Structure 1
Amino acid sequence: MAKKQGKRKKRDETETYDGGGNRNAGIPAPPPSQPSSSGTIISSVRSSRHLQVLVGLTIAGLLLRFYNLGANSLWLDEASTLMFARQSLAGIWESTAGGEFNPPLFYWLEHAILLLGESEFVLRFLPALLGVLTIPVVYFVGKEFKDQNVGLIAAALLAFSPFHIYYSQEARAYAPMLFFFSLALLFYVRANRSDEVRSWALFGLFSAVSFWMHFYAIVPIAVLILHALVTRAGAIRHDILSAKNTAIAVAVFAVASLPLLIVTASLFLARTSSAPTFGMQGLDVIYQTLFQVSGFNDLIMAAFIVLFLIGVAVMWRDDRNGAFFLIFMMSLPFVASLILSSRMPMIPRHLIFLLPVYFIGIASAYPALHALVRNKKAVYAVVAAAALISTPFLATYYTTPQKNDWRGFSAELGGMTGEGDLIVVLPPYMAQPLDYYYGNATDGTLELGANTGSDLEAIREQYPGRETFYVVTWDILAVDPTGDALNWLDKNAEFVGQRMGIYLFVSA
């Protein structure tokens, strides 16, 4: 992409394309990197159909991400967020340094949010807000990468993405990490075209912030740095100083991330010391990731993959460096994830950073599709289609529980237990979401935890004759892959019922 810097800059300043073509659909490109007053911004929105649609998409994205934000119960990971956020700022860092496999920045921000309360809505507010703000950022990434049409289509795909909406409504760091990584991606694309020190430095800074949000952000950051070195290899061989600005970005990232980088090394060794007991392995990582980011629909996934490949082909015709970038940024994270999946848990949400690249690749197919219909308003039809294909999923998303219903389960459990009864949670860490809704002090029960059949037998011997309620989720197989605890329950307890993925047994 860097080789076309001069020609690209001149074209951006002087040329426009007719409605739906490769560039700006008859709307002059704004001057690059000019600071704007609020009046100038309002004037720009009034004169630009693309910006008007972007504002509409952002508002739609806000409604979709804040609607029913507190409806679902907290699940395990969200309850863990609350547990860490309740600690002091120093205590949160000590938890990370002591073995928590998530960086502290999101917990620090949630710690501040807790001043507003501890409701589900409050805990999920920050991911929802940053999820909304990611929509215009992706627009500007697509605009910088190719043109306003690509930016608008990519923003629409993100605004109505079921995958992104889901994780924008979860009190975890995935949506916040994507927001800051998208900013890093924006400044990387700018830096790769302009080689400006400011853009390189901002790329390094926002890369560091995304890494402080989630450890797995290091994968796309490393891929971007590798891409910079590969595309500039020829220039670097002739003049080592041509790598100066890239080195500045790396230095900014390293300095801003240094404490976390030190901790990450030991955590990575601990995480990969044995085979994972949950998550996905091998090619299933690729399939499930593409399936989920495509809206949990095989037909849409197939269509998106075809459109992405068409987008790469169009970019190859117009800008081979751009096509190489799309291939590089989609393939290398998948390769890294395939390799790591045999040594650490791999889940599609860890690869949420692929969304802007994937959607920009799909949007890059627009010129080829526009050539078939030759309609100035085709881009708006594509934006409408992005909303339409997500409608069936979203219709059920807001009307059915998406997470284990610990709220409802706890209410039912409280109606069954009495003073002196035992409540045994398998595995023990599932007490986190349970205790958010259930208070055993109310009916005088005693809450314990167990991992294995031996643990369960020891509890029965310690409290003979006590009526015992066993709260179980399939997570027990992650800590007890042999199934010993489930075998013990099968022999010594009776199944009472279940609420979604939560099972209740009572002593026989």
Structure 2
Amino acid sequence: MTTTDVQAPSGRPESPTPATRWVALILLGEVVLSAVLGSIRLGHKSLWYDEGFSAMHASRGVGGVVDVARHLDANMPLFALVLAPWRTLGDGEAAMRSLSVVCGALTVVAVFLLAARLFDRVTGLVAGFLFAIAPFAVQYSQQLRGYSMLLLLTVLGTWCFVNAIETRRTAWFVLYAVVAALAAYAHLVALFVIAAQAASLLFYGLRRLPWGRLVLSAAIGAVVLVPLAALILSAADNQGVTDTVTLGSIPRVAEEVAGGWALLVVLGGLSLVPVVLTVRGLRSEGPSPTTWRPALVVCGIVVPFLGVLGGALVMGRNWSERYVIIILPALVIGAAVAIRAIARQRLAAAVGLVVVITVLSVIEVTRWYDAPPVDDWRAATAAVLRGSTPDDGIVFCASPVRVPFEYYALRTPVDRLPEPLSPDEPWGDGVHLDEVDSEDTEAWATDPDRIWVVSRYEGTNPFGACDLDTSMAGRDLAVERSVGGITLRRYDR
């Protein structure tokens, strides 16, 4: 295939045809496929730390969510706000994770709508299928975190953005502003998608843009984001992910998002076609609506990736593949554009590519199903409760790991649980993080007789209750073992 074989799409909606019903049926099949892949063994794995935080964050209802956002962590408040009423369907792992499954399945529709609007319905169907089977999308549709919701809102926001630019209707600009702002409430990295949309306008032609409506849209978005900004300013400094950028970590993060090295090569290679279309458009007619459509896809991959990378370099932390998940929709749309172009010339080759991607995706999705949980808090909590009594005490190091432990512990009557010593708030719904200081640990010298210490994510300079040399002075280490990546100790007097 040469560059002359690739036809720049018109971007205009296709007229209704008898094939429309088949398009709807195929799209429905892709949605069902996404839901099925997301539902397989949905409750099999234990919640890990971040999921436990989501569960307990939403456990006290909307008021509790706002309180945590104001004082502790202002990121992802929208997911917790939706999860709070969703918990009425059930507070087990599968029931709560099903919210992410639904968001993932709806994102398939959003990807189709966006790709069909930019290119054509066939490209939209191919993109929807590639997203439905994408290993990273399946993985986060099975996580009790807001990333699946983030993808849904960023893709819907981009679809509204395209409709706004092409129709110039004020209603689309207003809708875009609201949806894009809501995406930031799902996760702050959504701001990098907004940056990608803005960057793409350089390829549209600045003189062609409806500047008045763009300013209106920006003003509405800014107003909607004011409460989020207030929450961020009032919340504590959340360290987030502590991973830093290294030279080797950059391709590793890209590989994780693509679903493995093989898929990175295939999808990355195919996504060069929108680059070719953009360059060809610039050479033939300069910035224009025709040039802008593939350029939007390219910007959707490059700008967020560089944005997350640059932010991690500046902060010295927060470098993680889950923050780069926002490039995945653009990546599959870019691949779909290439497959559609190949299909016009050699249908068998295009089908073969889809088969290869499907096989590689199935292999990686199966590996995800079989992989152990990041943290097995279900097993660790059960191990402590089997060996403890209500007369025992329990300490958590670092203090936030009480949160996922408490999610599982509350399945047992509170009067049968060991006494929480640090954090020392009574057992119950909500997020309990306040570690006691060294002075409070002096009372433990005589009571209780046995103290359990549950350790995960400990810092290099423990203090207060987690300075075990001090807080457990005079006690013997009676038990020490690892369960599901979590260290359990018992100190006896």
Range class of TM-score, shorter chain: 0.7 to 0.9
Matched, 1:182 2:155: yes
Partner of 2:268: 305
CA RMSD of aligned residues (A): 3.5
Asked if the contact 1:177/1:210 (under 8 Å) is kept, the reply is yes
Q: 1:124 aligns with which of 94, 97, 116?
A: 97
Partner letter of residue 332 of structure 1? V
- Give the 5 Å matches for 1:347-362: 347-362=320-335
Q: In structure 2, what is the Cα distance between the partners aligned to 1:278 and 1:403?
A: 16
> Do structure 1's residue 503 and structure 2's residue 492 form an aligned pair?
no
Match of 2:206 among 224, 228, 233: 233
Paired residue for 2:223? 255
| Helix, strand or coil at the partner of 2:420 | strand
Q: What is aligned with 2:459?
A: 477
Give the Å deviation of 1:445.
2.5
2:195 is matched with which residue? 222
2-side partners of 1:478 and 1:201: how far apart? 49
TM-score by length of 2: 0.81
Q: CA deviation at 1:413?
A: 2.1
Q: Return the alpha-carbon distance in structure 2 between the equivalents of residues 285 and 265 of structure 1.
A: 31
Matched, 1:424 2:377: no
Please report how far the alpha carbon of residue 124 of structure 1 lies from its aligned counterpart in structure 2 after TM superposition: 1.4
Tell me how far apart the structure 1 counterparts of residues 294 and 46 of structure 2 sit (CA, whole Å): 43
Q: Residue in 2 aligned with 1:239?
A: none
Cα gap change, 1:432 to 1:383, in 2 (>3 Å): same
Match of 1:101 in 2: 74
Q: Secondary structure at the match of 2:490?
A: strand
Q: Report the counterpart of residue 21 of structure 1 in structure 2.
A: none
1:325–1:173: structure 2 CA closer, same or farther, 3 Å change rule? same
Distance apart, 1:257 and its partner CA:
2.6
2:393–2:418 CA contact under 8 A, matched in 1: yes
Q: Counterpart of 2:70 in structure 1: which amino acid?
A: A
Equivalent in the alignment of 1:293 = 257
User: Structure 2: which 5+ residue stretches go unaligned?
Assistant: 1-7, 282-289, 424-433
How far the C-alpha of 1:61 sits from its partner, in A, is 0.8
Mapped partners of 1:486, 1:362: distance in 2? 53
Q: State the match for 1:58 in structure 2.
A: 31
How far apart, CA to CA, are the structure 2 residues paired with 1:207 and 1:102?
Answer: 15
How do 1:33-432 and structure 2 match up within 5 A?
Answer: 45-46=20-21, 48=22, 50-228=23-201, 231-235=204-208, 242-265=210-233, 270=237, 278-283=242-247, 286-295=250-259, 297-317=260-280, 319-341=290-312, 342-343=314-315, 344-367=317-340, 369-370=342-343, 374-375=346-347, 379-432=350-403
Aligned-pair CA distance for 1:235: 4.4
Q: In 2, are the aligned partners of 1:163 and 1:292 still within 8 Å (CA)?
A: yes
CA distance, structure 2, for counterparts of residue 277 and residue 293 of structure 1: 17
Counterpart secondary structure, 1:477? coil
* Moved >6 Å (runs of 4+): 450-454, 486-489
Residues 1:282 and 1:334: Cα distance change in structure 2 (over 3 Å): farther
| 1:30 paired residue number | 15
Once the two structures are superposed, residues 185-242 of structure 1 have per-residue CA deviations (whole angstroms, 9 ceiling, x without a partner) of 1121233333333332222121122122222212212332343367443446xxxxx3
Give the gaps of 5 or more residues in structure 1: 1-6, 14-28, 32-39, 237-241
Contact 2:240 2:318 in 1 (8 A): yes
Cα 1:453–1:109 change in 2 (3 A) is closer
% of aligned pairs identical? 22
Give the letter for the 2:229 counterpart: L
Q: Which amino acid aligns with 1:477?
A: G
